[in-house]
Homo-oligomer: A and B are copies of this chain.
Amino acid sequence: MSGGAAKAQRAKPAAAADRAVAPSRVTPLKPAGRLRRRVRRGETLFGAGEPFATLFVVRVGCFKSLASSANGQVQVTGFPMAGDVLGLDGIDTGIHQCDVVSYDNAEVFVLPFAECEQWARETAHGQRMLRRALAREITRSHDHMLLLSAARAEQRVAIFLLDMSERYRRLGESRSSFALRMTRQDIGSYLGLQLETVSRLLSHFQREGFIQVQGREIALLDFQALWRMSGRAPDSHRPRVEPILDPQGNLTVVADADDGTARM
């Protein structure tokens, strides 16, 4: 289905390739930025074991990424949303290590990895982008490992809520009222908890007046209390990250003034 749509778009890279230089400093990424793929609710963008060929950048929608161990257990490792890069896990071995499944009818940019490599080789900015995407994934993992090994259930859920809030805020939506896309089970898997524990703690937070819950509709009422529960400082800002999407949802690159080889 949408796999067919993707194929149809993949069939015309040459056509996209001959749009040559763009003069502005911030330019849409070409030709890769032209390739898009729609992913329908519940559909798998790529699966573990499949050969790795392209990276993706989420344009709209929310996904879950699943890491599965040899013995067959599965864990949600993240909830990629607009602006996040997908597929990095395949770079090492050439085989995807994760499943990525869409919660919504989503749309992603398709970045054939061969082009990414060339872009990285030819431009300092491309190199930096790719490398940072990888490194950020590492620090993200470390943060999550800390949560999984040290934080208590109450903290985990509070951190999850604050994290989602912050991500929605960055996407220009409300930070205090949003609809979660994922089930309690997926949240639990992500946080290393059982779904019942997640449900109980959400109810608990609601009784305390910190949040309001109605199924997947969440309203954060008392950020200070949530920060207190989370055991973190409210000002524990991650270093600022240059967004990969412009406000219109287009893939952008910042051309380097000092980069003579940047001629894509």
Does the CB pair B141–A92 fall under 8 Å? no
Contact A135 B69 (CB under 8 A): no
Contacts A71-B233, A120-B127, A149-B148 hold; do A89 and B138 have CB atoms under 8 A apart? yes
Q: Chain B contacts of A236 at CB under 8 A?
A: 69-71
Q: For the complex, is A117 an interface residue (Cβ under 8 Å from B)?
A: yes
Question: Binary interface profile of A, 103-142, with partner B (CB < 8 Å = 1, else 0)?
Answer: 0000000000000010011000001001110111111011
Q: Do the beta carbons of B75 and A135 come within 8 Å of each other?
A: no
Which residues does chain B contribute within 8 Å of A93, judged by CB atoms? 135, 139, 239
Categorize the interface residue count of chain A. 35 or more
Asked if A215 is at the interface (CB within 8 A of a chain B CB), the reply is no
In this complex, what residue of B is CB-closest to A132?
B92
A137, closest chain B residue (CB) = B138
**Interface membership of A165, Cβ < 8 A:** no
Output the least CB separation between A100 and chain B (Å): 13
Interface of A is mostly: helix
Given contacts A120-B127, A148-B149, A192-B150, contact A138 B92 (CB under 8 A): yes
Name the interface residues of A180-238: CB closer than 8 Å to any CB of B. Answer: 189, 191-192, 231-233, 236
- The yes or no answer to A144 lying at the interface (CB within 8 A) is yes
Residue in B121, B135, B191, B239 whose CB lies within 8 Å of A134: B135
**Most chain B CB neighbours (cut-off 10 Å) among A89, A146, A232:** A146
Assembly stoichiometry (copies):
2
Considering the chains assembled together, what is the distance between the CA atoms of A88 and B127 in angstroms?
Answer: 15
Contact with B along A144-173 (1 / 0, CB 8 A): 111011100000000000000000000000
CB distance from A98 to the nearest CB of B (A): 7
Residue pair B97, A142 in contact (C-beta under 8 Å):
yes
A139 to B97, CA, bound (A): 7
Query: Does residue A91 face the partner (Cβ distance < 8 Å to B)?
Result: yes
Whether the Cβ atoms of A69 and B232 lie closer than 8 Å is yes
A232 touches B71 (CB 8 A): yes
A77 near B148 (CB under 8 angstroms)?
no
Given A75-B150, A127-B120: A134 in contact with B145 (beta carbons within 8 A): no
Identify 13 residue pairs between A and B in the complex whose beta-carbon atoms are under 8 Å apart, listed by A's number: A69-B232, A70-B233, A71-B233, A89-B138, A89-B139, A89-B142, A90-B135, A91-B131, A91-B132, A92-B138, A97-B139, A141-B145, A150-B192
Task: Name A residues whose Cβ lies closer than 8 Å to a Cβ of B.
Answer: 67, 69-71, 73, 75, 77, 88-93, 95, 97-98, 117, 120-121, 127, 130-132, 134-139, 141-146, 148-150, 189, 191-192, 231-233, 236, 239
